[in-house]
Amino acid sequence: MAGMNDIDQDALAAEWGMALEEQAKGGGGGPGVAAQPADPGSEGTDDSMAAQWSAMVDDGGQFLQAAKGGAERILNQDEIDSLLGFSLDTLNFGDNSGIRAIIDSAMVSYERLPMLEIVFDRLVRLMTTSLRNFTSDNVEVSLDRITSVRFGEYLNSIPLPAILSVFKAEEWENFGIFTVDSALIYAMIDVLLGGRRGQTAVRVDGRPYTTIEINLVRRMIEVVLADAEQAFRPVSPVHFNIDRLETNPRFAAISRPTNAAILVRLRIDMEDRGGTIELLVPYATIEPIRETLLQMFMGDKFGRDPIWEGHLATEIWQAEIAIDSVLYEAELPLSRIMSLKEGDTLMLDIKPDALVKVRCGNAVLTEGRMGRVGDRVAVRVARPLRKSKTTLAMFEMADASKKRMEAA
């Protein structure tokens, strides 16, 4: 084995030696590469090939750089929000797009309750007067929007810090939320405590609201809730009482996150200061007055209308009906009827002075006596008409009981 290894190593060394000699003579190649004859124009060819390789390297670098840049092209947050239809600043409940529009397509719209818009327009007028008296300043209140939202989405969209007031509607036996943003809180405190005009209120981040600030905001909320009572009074008398004040939205949960609610956003401007307040009312809260809110205008009728009652009575009075006079009515077996022949006599179990039944369809109206007037057969009414036992009051009672069962 040792001898064979020595022979192999000697043969390999001789092969390498011959390759090096050929490379030195011809100027090219390495082990296993045949030497090429020298070419007088090889230098120019080498220069041109070097230039081509350099250009190819540059083009390849640009291609790789472009490919690398294309691979690193990702969507930013604004493009993602636009694609999904979400916004981090505000919830676009009125004009949604993308996946958000598909998600909110099943949302109940407040437009199905047209009387709400009239109520909140009245609330804006009342708040303008009451807040001017409350602050002794020029206050302008405007209705920003009325939208339908999911309760959980609204709690997650509240910009903090803020004060949330949970109030209870006594007659409706349910709750609502009144939200005041930080800009309006500091602006209202600045106005009530005699701050100068033209100066923006300084907000201290990370500091909780003091007792004085919370009490001043509570007084403002009481004024607005009193105006809300007056706005709803033509529709339904109600009293709004403050249940508690919260600064954490998690502690203001009054409904399930997936339940629908009505969000009313109001803008309050006091010259160069102001902010927004939001009134959130779940649909379960206004369920007792839902039929009233379905009216298109104040005083719209959904039940008994005297005009239509009179018109219906006139048309019924002029209607024509067909009545039948039944002399005798009996039930016979089918076998007897099939066995009847010409000349058979049917005996009627009735007396000559028996009363004749007067029917309209299957309903018996009255009874009378058969007679003759001239050449015509006549029936004289012998008893007063029978009145129907089903009255309008019974229909109303049945409808009320049905609604109570559905509510339960």
Query: Nearest to residue 88, comparing CAs of 27, 157, 175?
Result: 157
Same domain for 208 and 134: yes
**Torsion from C-alpha of 332, 338, 344, 345, nearest 10 degrees:** 10
If you average pLDDT over residues 240-248, what whole number do you get? Answer: 88
Same domain for 111 and 185: yes
Domain membership of residue 19 (yes or no) is no
Instruction: Render the burial of 28-60: b for 16+ CB within 10 Å, e for the rest.
Output: eeeeeeeeeeeeeeeeeeeeeeeeeeeeeeeee
Domain membership of residue 11 (yes or no) is no
Domain membership of residue 392 (yes or no) is yes
Same domain for 323 and 273: no
**pLDDT over 70 at 241, yes or no:** yes
pLDDT band for position 305 (cuts 50, 70, 90): low
Strands 162-169 and 174-181: antiparallel
**Sheet holding 174-181: strands in order across?**
140-150, 260-270, 273-282, 174-181, 162-169, 240-246
Per-residue pLDDT tens digits for 335-352: 888 888 888 888 887 787
pLDDT confidence of residue 37: 44
Domain membership of residue 66 (yes or no) is no
Same domain for 287 and 145: yes
Say how many residues make up the chain: 408
Residue 133, token pair as written in the block: 């008296």
Query: Which of 58-62, 77-81, 159-163 is predicted least confidently?
Result: 58-62
pLDDT band for position 104 (cuts 50, 70, 90): low
Average per-residue pLDDT for the chain = 75
Same domain for 363 and 274: no
Residue 138, token pair as written in the block: 């020029």
**pLDDT over 50 at 38, yes or no:** no
Whichever domain contains 194, its CATH number is 3.40.1550.10
Residue 61, token pair as written in the block: 């670098």
pLDDT confidence of residue 150: 87
pLDDT band for position 271 (cuts 50, 70, 90): confident
Host H or E run for residue 367 = strand 363-373
If you average pLDDT over residues 15-26, what whole number do you get? Answer: 66
Domain membership of residue 387 (yes or no) is yes
Same domain for 360 and 219: no
How many domains are contained in the chain?
Answer: 2
Same domain for 219 and 361: no
Same domain for 353 and 233: no
Domain membership of residue 190 (yes or no) is yes
CA quadruple 289, 290, 292, 298: dihedral sign: positive
Tell me the three state secondary structure of residue 129: helix
Domain membership of residue 50 (yes or no) is no
Maximum Cα–Cα distance for the chain, whole Å?
157
pLDDT band for position 226 (cuts 50, 70, 90): very high
Same domain for 134 and 186: yes
Q: If 0-12 CB within 10 Å is exposed, 13-18 middle and 19+ buried, where does residue 341 land?
A: exposed
Tell me the three state secondary structure of residue 363: strand
CB-based contacts of 41, cutoff 8 Å, min separation 6? none
If you average pLDDT over residues 128-156, what whole number do you get? Answer: 87
Whichever domain contains 364, its CATH number is 2.30.330
**pLDDT over 60 at 29, yes or no:** no
pTM of the model: 0.50
pLDDT confidence of residue 390: 59
Same domain for 245 and 174: yes
Task: Find which of 75-89, 92-106, 307-321 is predicted with most confidence, using mean pLDDT.
Answer: 307-321
**pLDDT over 70 at 144, yes or no:** yes
Query: Which of 55-69, 134-148, 162-176, 196-210 is predicted least confidently?
Result: 55-69
Task: Give the separation between CA 60 and CA 47, rounded to whole angstroms.
Answer: 20
Per the structure, the complete domain to which residue 401 belongs is given by 319-329+349-407
**Torsion from C-alpha of 290, 292, 298, 302, nearest 10 degrees:** 130
- The residue with greater pLDDT, 180 or 328, is 180
**pLDDT over 60 at 50, yes or no:** no
Same domain for 268 and 221: yes
Domain membership of residue 250 (yes or no) is yes
Same domain for 225 and 169: yes
Task: Give the separation between CA 402 and CA 405, rounded to whole angstroms.
Answer: 5
